[in-house]
Amino acid sequence: MELPKVRGVYKLNYNLSHLTWFKVGGSADILFKPEDVDDLISFLKQNDSKMPVLALGAGSNLIIRDQGIEGVVVKLGQKFTHIEKTADGNLAVGAGCLNYNLAKFCQLNSIKNFEFLIGIPGTVGGGIAMNAGAYGAEFKDIVHSVQAIDAKGDKMLIPVDQIGFSYRSNNLPNNLIFTQVIFTATRGNAQEITRKMDHIMNSRLASQPVSTKTSGSTFANPDGMKAWELIDKAGLRGKLIGGAEISKMHCNFMINNGNATAADMENLGEYVRGIVKEHSGVELIWEIKRIGRHG
């Protein structure tokens, strides 16, 4: 099949493992890095849903299966990482911008309510996809609207009240590619912002295995409970399957000890779900996305 004409870059049979925090997984049939929004729109219009298309963020909350991904994986590059102040005083941020970079920008510009982003790995687009949150705040608290493109290449602006944010999810179609997020910007006290960010960074370093090949939280917290406590009480702290391990530091984090496969990571997560269900009756829900061909 002839690929659509683009200004960006195609890479065929491209190994994706180094693009994820776990450093596991197979290849994309095709990796596409669009030059800009117009290039992405042109690609999608020409493709016209003939090949499956999937957008990849920073890979911080993701297991790509060892058999790889069918079709086209879209990776947004530098042109999608801008942070700009809008005419009405809000922030327009490219979907490829790292949450960490947005948090630091807001710190430098005394904009409050973005402090929690310093503790969330990944990109702004990924944060929209899963309503990422930590330390008592979520994306839904700061989003004004989202720019997205659908599978047909049609551009849309979606106000926050139509996104349908809920705990670690939204109600938008899965085939949307987020390109820009408009955030509500509120002036704050610079010292208070820095104090909050320092507290979050120190808490994260003290409680999460951030120096390892890990990801975000493995499972969502059930109502009124903590996933890590359920895992710990089931005796699974430090549990190993192949090269995959439940962190001894924080039981709701999985670690690649160096030689894990994606199957090891997913099998360990499913094993934990089964044991926790037997032990407490609670069915843990994956927070980490698992994508790609099944073996």
Helices (H), the chain: 37-47, 99-108, 124-130, 190-207, 227-233, 262-280
Give the SS3 label for residue 230.
helix
Give Cα separations from 212 to 156, 215, 249, 254, 260 (angstroms).
38, 9, 11, 10, 13
Helices (H), 78-234: 99-108, 124-130, 190-207, 227-233
Catalytic residue set: 168, 217, 287
Question: Which residue type, as a one-letter code, is found at position 245?
Answer: E
Find where tokens 């327009």 sit: 92
Task: Return the closest-CA partner of residue 292 out of 2, 29, 10.
Answer: 29
